[in-house]
Amino acid sequence: MGSRERQITLTIARRLAGALPAARFGLAPGRVRRAAWARALRRSFEDLGPAFVKLGQLISVRPDEFSDELVAEMESLQDSVPPLPAAAIREVIQAEFGADADALWDGFDDEPVASASIAQVHRARLREAYRPVWGDVLPAGADVAVKVVRPGAEATVRGDLAIARRMAEGLVRRRLVRRVDPVALLDEFAESLDRELDLRREGRFSDRFRFDFRDDARVTSPRVVWSRTTARVLTMEFVEGWRLSEIDAARAAGVDCFALAVHGATAFMRQVFVYGRYHADLHPANLFVTPEGRIAYLDFGIVGYLTPAERVNITQVMAALVYRDAERALRYSDALGVHVPADRVEAVRSGLGRLLDGTTRADGTRDFAHFGLGFLRLLGANGVAVPSGYGLLIKSLATVEGVARALYPEIDIVDTARPFTTRVLGAAMGDPARLRERLPAALRAALRELTA
């Protein structure tokens, strides 16, 4: 066992041992005991650095595989670390561009505005005007955010990931885990990490997002300065505004937050059902309300994609929620890769029926989170594997509902989705290939009616 592997093992063991009194040495009721272990594991992940912080974030979007207590703890995991000295960040910039930061930008601020596990963000000003891929020209002197991958972050994260994978393989060999496949989870994490370590991917998605919402004056994302962007440095428009956690300040400034709640939920539905690509890491730090009353999407490090067929199938799952149709939810979830074994179908159908009966709130609106997250937990409890994309989308929809309801408690996310789901189903019904596929069955049904 190498020194880093020993450090990881000892850190986790020390935190878990420290949780023994809160867990009453294993004698506390289940929920109290699980909460104590979850809190200890979250703290150990914060102690261990970037790879484990990112792994915790992945756990937080998998309620199908992990307990409610662990998911809740990992949702609160802070991706915030002490900043590196500016000299280290300037070295990365020098290596990427062959020039000092002061030659590339005016007024490069050595004090970072944000410092996370993978990257650090500094404020600067453009030396000359820049025409972005989409949107108005950024004038000389415009404030920009310069996001820089921390030196050594990639090697550290990949090294820790390799160690974590060996440890996970050991747990599987010893049959110490049952419900969760830790090796598959780490493979999923590795794919996500590849995307996040190349900042050009984030920049391209931001440009695509701006184009998608070019006709919407209330939704925006930062303009990217490609002449000052590489895999390890991303320069983008600096967005002023309030985080969602500061929404009272936005209200005091005259922003109509109720209208923004509805519009923001609608914008997310447009991403999912119209474009098939969506921001999958929505939390207060990634959504700003600007002084002009716009919603600004930031940090496209984690995104989701849906094919046209998947959009049709997720629309049918939403329809199952409206009509309380457990059979429809199971049929179209199966088409999305959620395959329930024959011997578990009845148990899952029964549990799903109970979930659907409990999705209407006292005010008559639907509770998507109750249905969606409950469905994921139900599948996990019955040993049904959930594709990562399906779990990510359900969690994202539930998050959007929670954000919107914090601003406008009476919002119904299912009603918000209705115009988009209707459009998706209408297009699917008119698809020539689908018509050719269904025509024989329709003709046989018509003949039976005529000859009855």
- Asked if 294 and 221 count as a contact pair (C-beta separation under 8 A), the reply is no
Amino acid at 168: A
How many Cβ atoms from other residues are within 10 Å of residue 297's Cβ? 25
Q: Has residue 439 got a pLDDT over 80?
A: no
The model's pLDDT over 97-116, given as tens digits with 9 standing for 90+, comes to: 999 999 999 999 999 999 88
pLDDT for residue 97: 97
Identify the residue with better confidence: 446 or 21. 21
Position 25 confidence tier, pLDDT thresholds 50, 70, 90: confident
Report CA-CA distances (Å) from 8 to 47, 52, 68, 158, 400: 9, 10, 24, 14, 35
Amino acid at 419: P
The Cβ-side half-sphere exposure at 191, using a 13 Å CA radius, reads: 10
DSSP state of 301: S
Position 174 confidence tier, pLDDT thresholds 50, 70, 90: confident
The Cβ-side half-sphere exposure at 168, using a 13 Å CA radius, reads: 15
Of 218, 224, 264, which is closest to residue 399 (Cα–Cα)? 264
- DSSP 3-state assignment of 115? strand
Of 61-70, 198-207, 327-336, which gets the smallest average pLDDT? 61-70
Active site residues: 281
The Cβ-side half-sphere exposure at 400, using a 13 Å CA radius, reads: 29
- DSSP 3-state assignment of 278? strand
pLDDT for residue 18: 93
Please list, in sequence order, all residues whose beta carbon lies within 8 angstroms of the beta carbon of residue 188, skipping any fewer than 6 positions away.
Answer: 58, 388
Position 225 confidence tier, pLDDT thresholds 50, 70, 90: very high
Of 274, 226, 245, 277, which is closest to residue 403 (Cα–Cα)? 245
Mean pLDDT of 203-220: 94
Q: How far apart are CA 62 and CA 444, in angstroms?
A: 44
With helix as H, strand as E and coil as C, how does 277-344 read? EEECCCCHHHEEECCCCCEEECCCCCEEECCHHHHHHHHHHHHHHHHCCHHHHHHHHHHCCCCCCHHH
Q: How far apart are CA 338 and CA 293, in angstroms?
A: 40
